[in-house]
Chains A and B, each alone.
Chain A
Amino acid sequence: MDLENQKRVKELTEKYGAENVVVLIGAAEAEAAGLAAETVTAGDPTFAGPLAGVQLGLRVYHAVEPEFKNAVDADVYDEQIGMMEMVLDVDEIIKEVKTIRDQYCKFND
């Protein structure tokens, strides 16, 4: 996750509290998705940004995950994400992000 966004997530979490923040990511590949997810839970794994060594443990989901898909209007989802859903390796991404969440997210819901 780039440094600007790391800074934003950190500041928003400090302002509103980790329990009130959900991070929604849209990376096109599982590896990138995993890195972003890890950054907002266990800390920046590249140790290059403001979240290096900072464990926010936030709830993080990828736009193609069922938890998100089922929580939003089906038509809007289809319009905005339908196309990408066909092209991305959805299973890989879900697996990657869920694994990170199970390991590092501090909220069990």
Chain B
Amino acid sequence: MTNTQPNKMRGGKQMGKIKVVHYINQFFAGIGGEEKADYKPEVREGIVGPGMSLNAGFKGEAEIVATVICGDSYFNENLETAKQEVIEMIKKYKPDLFIAGPAFNAGRYGVACGTITDAVQKELGIPALTGMYIENPGADMFKKSVYIISTKNSAAGMRDAVGKMVPLALKIAKGEQLGSPEEEGYISRGIRKNYFAEKRGSERAIEMMLKKLKGEDFVTEFPMPDFDRVKPNPAVKDITKAKIALVTSGGIVPKGNPDHIESSSASKYGKYDIEGFENLTSETHQTAHGGYDPVYANEDPDRVLPVDVLREMEEEGKIGSLHRYYYATVGNGTSVANAKAFASTFAKELVADGVDAVILTST
């Protein structure tokens, strides 16, 4: 359908089709999985992968003109430079709108989406949004500065995510008024919006109090932010006498994964004996983690759980001792609640075993 109507001017902005640039990772671009997570930023004309779904949702009002692709590990390991490289690519298209992801529960992808969406807003002044699961670390990091549509925890939720991202994207591109996070489907940004309520404050407070006393459901008007920080423990006084324990979320387990720790969304952790082990090798150990390229960790598990070095230091007297047990789980999409539960359980054992300090390694 050709545009035979005169272009409408709206606050200086032409209301033609909204130009969109989309950012995705190497997986959704069909380039590869973990083994390609180091893929350098690349821009392709038009639509790639999930962009098809977004574009279909726009129904002609907006159009994805270019897709920027970047490997999740490359982005996260080179945050500053990757960000700049990607910004330069986006800039060239002078888009009216930028969308990243959705990243669901993929941690590095979520961090990348959040970082780039935030940068596009700040540095290019373009309306931008992304989407990810609420437990994605990228959500906590960027929910205050960026619109993040709340999605399900896996790509099975793509239709649902796109269904929410499209309307919000069009609204912000057109500069329209937005509703509350619940209405629009984005993660609460902690921004207070003043509004005129029909009843006065004292009345609303009393109603809420009565509900609470009666044990009925009520909705707070201002949820207290949950910082959940822990004060740092005092430093170890004499490290040469300390018993050090290793813990990892990198999934290092004895070869064969005897406890069958899942490669993602782990439902358990393992406690393993390294007594007598001078180091870990591809014969004795492996990684169970499905969220990163396992090649290097399988070749030499010390690269994730540094038993070799700590054993040396133990022999040299640089540390008191290396605790005979280490604890491992897989941090890939594992729920916060589970991780917390695992650690609070084995922390008790660590205390009982007289461990003075812990080195926790993550991938």
Chain A interfacial positions (CB closer than 8 Å to B):
3, 31, 35, 45-50, 52-53
Residue contact B156 to A47, C-beta cutoff 8 Å: no
Least distance between A30 CB and chain B CB atoms (Å) = 12
Contacts of B156 in A (CB 8 A): 31, 35, 45-46
Measured CA separation A49–B30 after assembly (Å): 6
> Is B155 in contact with chain A by the CB < 8 A criterion?
yes
> Is B342 in contact with chain A by the CB < 8 A criterion?
no
Could you give, for residues 49-78 of chain B, a 1 whenever the CB lies within 8 Å of some chain A CB and a 0 otherwise? 111110000000000000000000000000
Residue contact A48 to B159, C-beta cutoff 8 Å: no
> Is B346 in contact with chain A by the CB < 8 A criterion?
no
The prevalent SS among residues of A at the interface is loop
Nearest first, the 4 A-B pairs at minimum CB distance are: A46-B155, A47-B50, A53-B52, A47-B49
Residue contact A47 to B27, C-beta cutoff 8 Å: no
A-B contact pairs, 28 of them (CB 8 A): A3-B30, A3-B33, A31-B156, A35-B156, A45-B156, A46-B50, A46-B155, A46-B156, A46-B158, A47-B28, A47-B49, A47-B50, A47-B51, A47-B52, A47-B53, A47-B155, A47-B158, A48-B27, A48-B28, A48-B30, A48-B49, A48-B50, A48-B155, A50-B30, A52-B30, A52-B49, A52-B52, A53-B52
Could you give, for residues 151-168 of chain B, a 1 whenever the CB lies within 8 Å of some chain A CB and a 0 otherwise? 000011011000000000
Residue contact A45 to B52, C-beta cutoff 8 Å: no
Question: How many A-B residue contacts, CB cutoff 8 Å?
Answer: 32
Contacts of B155 in A (CB 8 A): 46-48
Least distance between B165 CB and chain A CB atoms (Å) = 13
Q: List residues of B (70-99) whose CB comes within 8 Å of A's CBs.
A: none
- Residue of A at shortest CB range from B154? A46
Contacts of A52 in B (CB 8 A): 30, 49-50, 52
- Residue of B at shortest CB range from A34? B156
Contacts of A31 in B (CB 8 A): 156
Q: List residues of B (1-53) whose CB comes within 8 Å of A's CBs.
A: 27-28, 30, 33, 49-53
Measured CA separation A3–B27 after assembly (Å): 10
Contacts of A49 in B (CB 8 A): 30
Contacts of B52 in A (CB 8 A): 47, 52-53
- Residue of A at shortest CB range from B155? A46
Supply 9 further A-B pairs (C-beta < 8 A) apart from A46-B156, A47-B28, A52-B50.
A31-B156, A35-B156, A45-B159, A46-B50, A47-B49, A47-B50, A47-B53, A48-B155, A52-B49
